[in-house]
Structure formats: structure tokens, C-alpha cells
């Protein structure tokens, strides 16, 4: 690469293929739209086919190219089939954005084995299944960028969040390990850690005015984030603008993890 390249072009994804798992809603939908807007051909996968197709429709309305796929990240065969289908259709996978997660808000002592298994199987093992399948493709083609989803809950928790937070903390370490293994193949692996972004997973909080405001006041900006505000971090990590970034977790959390209270000292 030239010493002083075309800096605007560093964010250009034209000709690249992006696989967005969990692209039917929330941050995944916004990420799929953003990657397409920067030139990528996007394979939108979701457990809900109608939602995947809706995202594809939004992309095509804006002049982008996308395809809809069904996947259940709890099923290894389903994940492997998805990755093989996208690779066969497109010839490669340059970007992975992996989104699926659930949260069962209960204190640890009240968790059942079945509930623990549901959260860990989807959040952590589901991420592992997708990353494993895509890693093989990217290693063979000697290039790629993988973006896995962590959360500020990987470092900052509250009652009822211990199991969900544990899965997100585990993903940050999984990213470090996988990045160390994939660097020799010219593949980058990073995590994105949002905080309170208005998505379906946290609708129960936003439906409670006191709870919603309490969370908003915990951020440096005093507000909830919108899904489109994750587009920039996603495109950055996917693109050549992040060519020297791997094994890290990018906190796009509105300052949640750097503010320790709402009182402003008289200084």
C-alpha cells in the first residue's frame, strides 16, 4: 500500500462480500445496510426468513446488492450450510458480522440448567460455530475481517446479567485467541461492544420509563444510542481503514464504561 493512499478509499468495500448473521433486525440490520452502502455485496442471514428478506429489500431499494438466507446458529449443520452456500454463490467471504444473542434476566441462583444452556449455546457457542466455519473460508483465501459481538456487559454488569455478561466476556477472549491464530492468514478478528442501543432485545427496558431513564443517565451522553450509530464502527472494522487492527474490542458504548456516576464534582 502506498505511504499516503487515497484515505477515503480505505472505507470502500466495493467488490467485497459481507456475511451478516442476525441481519434481520437491530444492529445487524443497520450493519448490513451500512456495508452495502459502502459497496459490499451482502448475504443477510437470520433465523427469521421474513426479516432477512426485509433487510434485503431495504438494501436493494437503495441500489445495493444482497441475498437472504435462513440460519439457526444453534445448529452446526445450519451454520455450515449457510457458509457453504454463500461461498459457492459469491466465491469468497470478505467480511463477517455475527450478531445473534439472547438474554434471560434472572439472578444466577434462580437460573435453571436449561436457561443457562440456552444463553450459552446461542451467544457463545453460536458465535463459535459461525466463526469456525468462516475462519476456514478466510484462511483459505488469505484475507478477511471478522466482527463478533461483545457488549459493555462483558465488563460491567448488574443483578440479573451474570450469565449474559459471562458470554460477552468470553467472546472478547475468543476474539483475542482467534486473532492470534488467523493473523498468519492475513485475517483480522475484532469485537464490537455496544451499550444501550435501542433494539428488540431491550424493548422491555425501554417500555419502563424509570428503567429507560436510569440507563440513559448512566451514559456520558445521557441518552440511548440508535442502531445506525453502530454503522461507523462496523464499516471501520470491516474495511482497510482498520488494516492494522486485530484482536481488540471496540467499545461503542456512549461512555458507559468510562463514567462512574452522574454527580458532577465541583472541579
Quote the pTM value: 0.94
Residue 213 sits in a domain whose CATH number is 3.40.50.720
- Let me know if residue 234 belongs to a domain: yes
For residues 227-231, give the mean pLDDT.
96
β-partners of residue 252 are 194
Of 164, 228, 244, 251, the active-site residue reads 164
- Let me know if residue 153 belongs to a domain: yes
Most confident of 1-5, 43-47, 217-221: 43-47
- Let me know if residue 264 belongs to a domain: no
Q: Could you list the residue range(s) of the whole structural domain that residue 116 is in?
A: 11-251
CA neighbor of 249 nearest in space, from 143, 117, 128, 152: 152
- Let me know if residue 266 belongs to a domain: no
Number of domains in the chain: 1
Task: Quick: pLDDT tens for 150-175.
Answer: 999 999 888 999 999 999 999 999 99
Give the cell for residue 127. Answer: 458465535
- Let me know if residue 125 belongs to a domain: yes
pLDDT at 113 over 70: yes
- Let me know if residue 204 belongs to a domain: yes
Q: How far is residue 72's CA from residue 34's CA, in Å, rounded to a whole number?
A: 23
Asked whether the beta carbons of 39 and 62 are under 8 A apart, the reply is no
- Let me know if residue 6 belongs to a domain: no
| Active-site annotation holds for 7 | no
Amino acid at each position: 500500500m502506498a505511504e499516503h493512499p487515497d484515505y477515503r478509499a480505505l472505507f470502500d468495500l466495493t467488490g467485497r462480500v459481507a456475511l451478516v448473521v442476525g441481519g434481520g433486525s437491530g444492529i445487524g440490520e443497520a450493519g448490513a445496510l451500512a456495508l452495502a452502502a459502502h459497496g459490499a455485496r451482502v448475504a443477510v442471514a437470520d433465523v427469521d426468513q421474513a426479516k432477512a428478506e426485509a433487510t434485503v429489500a431495504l438494501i436493494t431499494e437503495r441500489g445495493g446488492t444482497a441475498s437472504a438466507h435462513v440460519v439457526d446458529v444453534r445448529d452446526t449443520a445450519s451454520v455450515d450450510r449457510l457458509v457453504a452456500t454463500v461461498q459457492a454463490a459469491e466465491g469468497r467471504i470478505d467480511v463477517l458480522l455475527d450478531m445473534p444473542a439472547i438474554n434471560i434476566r434472572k439472578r444466577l441462583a434462580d437460573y435453571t440448567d436449561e436457561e443457562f444452556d440456552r444463553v450459552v449455546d446461542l451467544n457463545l457457542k453460536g458465535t463459535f460455530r459461525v466463526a469456525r466455519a468462516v475462519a476456514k473460508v478466510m484462511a483459505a483465501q488469505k484475507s478477511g475481517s471478522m466482527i463478533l459481538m461483545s457488549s459493555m456487559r462483558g465488563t460491567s454488569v448488574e443483578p440479573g446479567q451474570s450469565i449474559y455478561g459471562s458470554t460477552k466476556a468470553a467472546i472478547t477472549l475468543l476474539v483475542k485467541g482467534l486473532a492470534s491464530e488467523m493473523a498468519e492468514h492475513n485475517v483480522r478478528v475484532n469485537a464490537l461492544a455496544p451499550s444501550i442501543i435501542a433494539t428488540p432485545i431491550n424493548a422491555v427496558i425501554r417500555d419502563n420509563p424509570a428503567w429507560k431513564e436510569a440507563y440513559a443517565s448512566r451514559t456520558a451522553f445521557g441518552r440511548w444510542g440508535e442502531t445506525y450509530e453502530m454503522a461507523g464502527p462496523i464499516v471501520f472494522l470491516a474495511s482497510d481503514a482498520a488494516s492494522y487492527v486485530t484482536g481488540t474490542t471496540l467499545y461503542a458504548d456512549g461512555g458507559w464504561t468510562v463514567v462512574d456516576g452522574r454527580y458532577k464534582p465541583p472541579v
